[in-house]
Structure 1
Amino acid sequence: MATHWRLILNGKSAGNDAVRDAVVAMRAGGATLDVRVTWERGDAARYVDEAVDDGVHCVIAGGGDGSLGEVAAALAERHEDAATLPALAAMPLGTANDFATAATIPLDPHDALRLVADTPAHAIDMLRVEADGVRHWCINLASGGFGTEVTVETDDGLKKLLGGLAYLVTGIAKMGRIEPVAAHVHGEGVDWRGALIALGIGNGRQAGGGQLLCPDARIDDGLLDLTIIPELEGELATTVATLVREGRGAALERVGERGRMRAVTIEAQDGEIALNLDGEPVQARRFAIACVPARLRMHLPEHCPLLAPARLALR
């Protein structure tokens, strides 16, 4: 049976010649590949619904982490199970491409499409996030504290000029004015209260232009990875500089609290907390986050680091 793909392309990338060439090449090779371009909020969800109705086999998110998260969320929100939904794929075209980098998805548009043709779709988890009773979905990472502020405040013009380095520049500029967030974080085996400067709840591993907040996370283990970086008097500037500059897991082990669980709750102790969900900032007093196992299927590289080794062997 012939396969039918649909590329949902972020409007910012509509004039990308490499994308156009990749689509033309795949069509010349026999692929049925339609393209839809987003213009405003809600377009991606509408195009996903249209793809399901049209019997599309794979929906490809063309854009950055936010575009991938929007398409993945629209798929996850539907009532069908993963086996009957279109598979998901990514064409990384953003500034940071944090999910694609951690998953080793090719950044070249043609190679990203070849990945869809050459690899089977693999079951992946999604994070279901209830923010003061409003449901959201997250494919990569929910991050809070310093990392969220950096991502939200990085200027679009700076991102165009410097790429992922823009997050580093913004982060260094903020180091002298970091305000810790008071929170209660609790779940299986974790009951933490205090002031934090960074928080990561991972399906994926990194966010904010390379900040490696959940270095051991797997996208198919049915569990979320939690990292808390507490306020550290005296060591604060050094610690944050290390995280922003290098994003090393070793720094997390030195200063952070980490755990792995099926669900976690974050409650603000004063006002609201902002979490960045795949690039989308959400503010709430209470976040209830659960890992939903095998919610979608996704085309990933053969030796993707985000897949559990035992499951890789079964492919």
Structure 2
Amino acid sequence: MSLVDIILNPAAGGGRAGKFRDSIDTHLRSLDFEPRWHLTESPGHGIELAREVVESGSRLLATAGGDGTLFEVINGCLQSEGPLPDLALIPVGRGNDFAKSLGLPREWADACDRLMLGTKRRVDMGQCNDIFFANTLGIGLDADIADIASRRRWLPGDTAYVAALAQSLLRKRRPRVSVRHDGGNLEQEVTLMVIANGCYEGGRFNLAPHANIEDGQLDLIITPSLSRRQIMALAPLVTEGRVEEIEGYQRFLTRRASIHLDAPCRVHADGEVIYRQARRLEIGVLPGALTFFS
């Protein structure tokens, strides 16, 4: 049997991830894998566990959880010393956004089967200051939604994100950003700014439909300052991936970006709020940083 280390967040998916442990164990054993389980016990614990697993010499590391669990695992991996293992993703979280960009099946058992039937891909990761992200980093409305949704983890599926969108409309401030990127400079007030490696976030929002996790670049997405009514009107465009129809929508491909905010702002990475008082961000891409089964 082949050994696979699995970092499981029992709280992912509103607590449903932990209920799948025995079923995942049985299924992997039927595929001739020997699971070695590592359970997270608190926020940030996944970083520590991933670092320990990598430095123990693991050759295959799976994440069982959602995007927040994956965020911790990739940070632990990229902060560690030693050869990096191949990675697998078992999507039992809430949004499972990065799994979509990897092209993984929605069902966890089918995703497990990719360890036998899938292919390995070297995919890019993003970096913000000293923090790594797999999927997206967001400022403005995007970060407000992530902040509010993080307090509604008990809601099923992507319901928390939809509820958070409605509540975030009560926050009136629109940050003013100054951005230097590979294609030039810009300064403007924004409703949201997203730096995307993957296409999706919040379960159903397709803000960067052309993003490619293997192109060595990040998509810089900007929408101008919009009213509450305009934001509600653009929701269907975002869920359907028709973001180019949003008035004032801008997209730039870049390998690096330097962002200055006119006042302290929240920032999220992969749905996790990483800053509440950010003023300056240095963004970069790590081409082909990690190898995933897909």
TM-score (norm: length of structure 1): 0.83
Aligned residue type for 1:262? R
For residue 120 of structure 1, what is the aligned residue in structure 2?
119
Q: CA deviation at 1:155?
A: 6.2
Deviates more, 1:258-267 or 1:161-170: 161-170
Q: How many residues align?
A: 287
Superposed, 1:72-151 pairs within 5 Å as 72-80=74-82, 84-130=83-129, 135-151=130-146
Q: CA deviation at 1:41?
A: 3.5
Q: CA deviation at 1:253?
A: 4.4
Q: CA deviation at 1:87?
A: 1.1
* Distance in 2 of aligned mates of 1:177 and 1:46: 35
Q: CA deviation at 1:58?
A: 1.5
Q: 2:127–2:285: 8 Å Cα contact kept in structure 1?
A: yes
For residue 175 of structure 1, what is the aligned residue in structure 2?
169
Deviations 1:136-179 (A, max 9, x none): 0011000111121012112645x534420221122123335432
Q: CA deviation at 1:15?
A: 6.8
* Distance in 1 of aligned mates of 2:280 and 2:64: 32
Select 1:264's aligned residue among 257, 265, 289.
Answer: 257
For residue 42 of structure 2, what is the aligned residue in structure 1?
40
DSSP-derived class of the 1:295 partner = strand
Deviations 1:68-88 (A, max 9, x none): 1110111122344xxx31011
Would the alpha carbon gap of residues 176 and 47 (structure 1) be closer, same or farther in structure 2, given more than 3 Å must change? Answer: closer
Q: 1:95–1:164: 8 Å Cα contact kept in structure 2?
A: yes
For residue 230 of structure 2, what is the aligned residue in structure 1?
239
DSSP-derived class of the 2:259 partner = strand
Q: 2:198–2:208: 8 Å Cα contact kept in structure 1?
A: yes
Would the alpha carbon gap of residues 209 and 108 (structure 1) be closer, same or farther in structure 2, given more than 3 Å must change? Answer: closer
Deviates more, 1:178-187 or 1:108-117: 108-117
* Distance in 1 of aligned mates of 2:103 and 2:267: 25
For residue 9 of structure 2, what is the aligned residue in structure 1?
10
Q: 2:9–2:18: 8 Å Cα contact kept in structure 1?
A: no
For residue 308 of structure 1, what is the aligned residue in structure 2?
none
DSSP-derived class of the 2:142 partner = helix
* Distance in 1 of aligned mates of 2:93 and 2:224: 30
Would the alpha carbon gap of residues 126 and 49 (structure 1) be closer, same or farther in structure 2, given more than 3 Å must change? Answer: same
Q: CA deviation at 1:208?
A: 2.7
* Distance in 2 of aligned mates of 1:174 and 1:47: 33
* Distance in 2 of aligned mates of 1:50 and 1:282: 22
Q: Are 1:185 and 2:184 an aligned pair?
A: no
Superposed, 1:202-221 pairs within 5 Å as 202-221=196-215
Q: 2:17–2:93: 8 Å Cα contact kept in structure 1?
A: no
Q: CA deviation at 1:47?
A: 2.0
Aligned residue type for 1:71? V
Q: 2:234–2:246: 8 Å Cα contact kept in structure 1?
A: no
Aligned residue type for 2:134? I
Aligned residue type for 1:241? M
Aligned residue type for 1:105? L
Q: 2:207–2:243: 8 Å Cα contact kept in structure 1?
A: no
**Percent identity over paired residues:** 25
Would the alpha carbon gap of residues 38 and 243 (structure 1) be closer, same or farther in structure 2, given more than 3 Å must change? Answer: farther
* Distance in 1 of aligned mates of 2:200 and 2:172: 20
* Distance in 1 of aligned mates of 2:128 and 2:116: 32
Deviations 1:257-291 (A, max 9, x none): 1100111111111x222221112212221101001
Aligned residue type for 2:280? R
Q: CA deviation at 1:206?
A: 1.9
Q: Are 1:288 and 2:287 an aligned pair?
A: no
Q: 1:9–1:35: 8 Å Cα contact kept in structure 2?
A: yes
Q: CA deviation at 1:190?
A: 3.2
Q: 1:242–1:251: 8 Å Cα contact kept in structure 2?
A: no
Q: Which runs of 5+ in 2 are unaligned?
A: none
Aligned residue type for 2:184? V
**RMSD (Å) for aligned C-alpha atoms:** 2.1
* Distance in 1 of aligned mates of 2:144 and 2:185: 25
Q: Are 1:55 and 2:57 an aligned pair?
A: yes
Q: Which runs of 5+ in 1 are unaligned?
A: 301-315
For residue 309 of structure 1, what is the aligned residue in structure 2?
none
